[in-house]
Amino acid sequence: MNPRLPTVERTVQARFAVLAMLCCQACSTPPLESAVSLPEHFEQGQGAAVLWPAADWYRTFSSPELNALIELARQNNLDLAAAQARIRQADARARAAGAAILPQVDAGANVAGFNGRSHGASAHETDWSVLLSAAYEVDFWGRNSAAASATRYSAVAARSDRDALALTTTAGVANTYFQVLSLRERLSLAQANVRSAREVLEIIQARFDAGAATAVELAAQRAAVANAELTIAPLQQQEMETLGALALLVGRAPESFVIEARQLDGLIEPDVAPGLPVDLLTRRPDLAVAEANLQSAHADLAAARAALLPALTLTAGGGVQNPAVQAAVITLTGTGPAVTVGASLLQSIFDGGRRRAQRDEAQGREMELLANYRGAILGALLDVEAALSAIQHLDSQRSAQLENVSQSGRAFEGARLRYVAGSGDYLSVLEAQRSLYSAREQMSQYKLARLQASVSLCKALGGGWAASDGRASR
C-alpha cells in the first residue's frame, strides 16, 4: 500500500474544490443594474388630472373615416406584416433554444453485410441493429438555460417592437390624414383668395374705366391676382403627395385611393393627461423593446461565461442487434438485447481565446443595450414633455388666432367698402386682403398643429398599449 496515497487524494480534493470555486465565480453573472433616476412628475403637466389614453384613442377625434383608415392600416400595412413575420421567427428560435434543455432521443436502424475470402476459405456475416439512443447535456452551469432565456426575451422584444410599430403607424395615419384635410382647407382658402382678388380687380377695372383709378392700381391688382393663383398648384401637388403617403400607410395603391373629408372643422381633440413618469415605463412598447433586448443580452452574457466551463454529457442507448455485443476483445454472437451507457466531460484547454472573446463581446453588447435602454427612458420623458409643452403653448395662442382672423376679416371688408365708396385708398385694400389670407392660412395651420400635438401626446404616453401575452417574466 502506498503511504503517500492519502496525501495525493487530499491534494486532488483540494484542487478540485478550488476549481469548483473558480468555476462558480466565472459562471456567476452579476445582477443587471438598469435603474434610471426618474423625476417625481412631468414639469409641463403639473396639476393636470391623470387620464391615460385608451387603446382606441384615435376614435375620440370623432371621425368615422379616420377610424376606418386606421383599421385598414392595421390589417394591410406591409411594415406590420413584416413585423408579424419577425415574431414568428423569434418564437421559432425560442422553441429551438428551449429544446436544448431537454434530452435528445433518436431511433435508428442499421444493416451491414460482410463478405470475405482468404486462403481458399470464405466467410459471410450480416450485422444489424434497431436501437433507441438518448443524449443529455447536464446544464450544470446554466448555459443552455441562459441561451433559452435570451431567445425568449428576443421573442418578447419582437412582439413589443410590433406593438411599437403599430402605435407609430396609427399615429402616422392620423397625422397624415389631418395633413390631407389641412391642405384641402388651405387650397380652399387659396381659391377663395383668388376669387376675392378678382372681385377687387373688377372694382378697380370699373373705376379705371370711369377715370377714378390709376393704371398703377390696375396693374398692381392684376399682379395680386396672378400671385394668388400661384399658390394653388403647389398646394395641389402637396395634397397629391400626402394622399399617396396615406395610401401607402394603409396598404392601398394611390391611384384608386379616395378621402371624402374636406376640412378639419368638426374633429374633436382627445382629452388625455399624463400620470407619474414611472408609470410611463410600463405603458410604452418601445421601452419594453429596449428592456427585453437588454435582458436578452444579459442572458447571452451568462451563456458566454458558462461556455468557459466544462460540459458534461450523458448518453444511453438500447435495442436489439446482431451480434448482441461487438467489441475488440469480446464479441457476443447472435441476436439479443443491447444497452449502452456513457458519460463525457469536455473542457476546452486552448482555443486561441475564442470563448473569452465571445464573452467580452457579449459583455460589450450588454453595456451598449444598457445605455440604449437608459437613453430610451430619457427620450420617452422628453417626448411627453415636448407634447405637453406644445399643447400648452397652442392653448395660449387660441384667442389670438381667433381674434386675428376676425379682425382681419373686418379690416378687409371695411377697406373694400371705403374704396368702393371712393373714400379709401387702394393700398389699404391690398394690404387688408393679404392680411386676411395670411390670418386664415395661419388659423388652418394652427388647427393642424393642435390635432398633431394631441396625436403626439397620445403616442408619447404609449397609446393605451398593454403588454402582450407571453412576456418573459422579469
**CA dist., res. 329 & res. 350, Å (int):** 35
Radius of gyration of the chain (CA): 38
Amino acid (1-letter code) at residue 146: A
The pLDDT of residue 342 is 87
Burial 351-384 (b: 16+ CB within 10 A, else e): eeeeeeebbeebbebbeebbebbbebbeebbebb
Burial 84-94 (b: 16+ CB within 10 A, else e): eebbeebbebb
What residues contact residue 39 under an 8 Å CB cut-off, 6+ apart? 277, 381
What does pLDDT average to in each consecutive run of 10 residues of the chain (474 residues)?
A: 42 38 45 67 70 90 95 93 92 88 88 83 83 86 88 92 94 96 94 91 89 89 93 95 95 90 90 82 90 90 87 87 72 80 86 88 90 91 92 93 94 89 83 91 94 93 75 39
- As given in the structure block, the three cell numbers for residue 260 are 371624402
Q: Which domains does the chain have, with CATH numbers?
A: 33-104+140-308+353-460 (1.20.1600.10)
3-state secondary structure of 449: helix
The pLDDT of residue 333 is 76
Which single residue is written with the C-alpha cell 401637388? 237
The pLDDT of residue 3 is 44
Question: Torsion angle of alpha carbons 37, 38, 40, 44, nearest 10°?
Answer: 140
**pTM for the structure as a whole:** 0.82
The pLDDT of residue 71 is 95
Burial 251-270 (b: 16+ CB within 10 A, else e): bbeeeeeebebeebeebebb
CA distances from 249 to 10, 74, 284, 445 (A): 73, 9, 22, 23
